[in-house]
Chain A
Amino acid sequence: MPTTTYFANPDTVKIGASALSTVDLKDQCRSVVFTRSREPLESTAFGSTDRTYTGGLTNHSVTATFLMSYAATETYATLNALVGTQVYFECAPVAAAPSATAPVIKLTGGYFESFDVINAELGTLSEVQITLTGGTYSEQTAP
């Protein structure tokens, strides 16, 4: 049995043109996957019997799913304005002051390529999924 587990329920899911102008879409958000990544560069040389790699450029990505709403300051108004721009994204997985055990994960300058302005299916709540790629990863571990 694990010593500790994480019951997924992020405290904030903020997105905006910059860190100064974010909108918290936590109340519309259903899932967030924030992947920190660094491209592998092969460094295997003659004489090696194993392939080896070294870190290249970082290439982070964020995929988030939101319940759609066309009301003011909600999903449509917030996200549609950002299509085709570099955006700021922030997610606090734990509802506590930022610390080493409650980090706030941030992506600055992630490219927001496309947004489904309509995703409607009979008898369902409309949801939209967004993907941010690239940008600079950072963690806030102090208030």
Chain B
Amino acid sequence: MTYKVVKQWRPDVQPGETVAAGDHGLAQADLDFLVAAGLLQTVTTTQHQPAKLKNTKRKD
């Protein structure tokens, strides 16, 4: 899971940057806290829906 930095809380982390657990030494507990405190925002990934298959059955 990735998170977008909304507000800077450390000099080595820039607003707009995307972070995940392990980046900058941050554990998941840190990320959860920063989300709750409003410093990070969860990045939601939109999944592409597969195109609907056309009905190729031939009508008799």
Distance in Å: Cβ of B43 to nearest Cβ of chain A: 17
With both beta carbons as reference points, the residue of chain A lying nearest to B35 in the complex is identified as: A81
Interface size on A, residues (CB 8 A): 15
Q: Is A21 a contact of B36 with CB atoms below 8 Å?
A: no
Given contacts A17-B33, A73-B7, contact A23 B26 (CB under 8 A): no
Q: Is B30 a contact of A17 with CB atoms below 8 Å?
A: yes
The answer, among B9, B27, B39, for a CB contact under 8 Å with A18, is: B27
Q: Is B29 a contact of A78 with CB atoms below 8 Å?
A: no
B15-31 interface bits toward A, Cβ cutoff 8 Å, 1 = contact, 0 = none: 00000000011110111
Interface size on B, residues (CB 8 A): 17
Given contacts A73-B39, A77-B38, contact A21 B33 (CB under 8 A): yes
Q: Does B51 contact A (CB under 8 A)?
A: no
Residues of B within 8 A of A78 (CB): 37
Report the bound CA distance from A17 to B9 in whole Å: 13
Residues of A within 8 A of B32 (CB): 17, 81
A63-93 interface bits toward B, Cβ cutoff 8 Å, 1 = contact, 0 = none: 0000000001100011011100100000000
Residues of B within 8 A of A21 (CB): 9, 26, 30-31, 33-34, 39
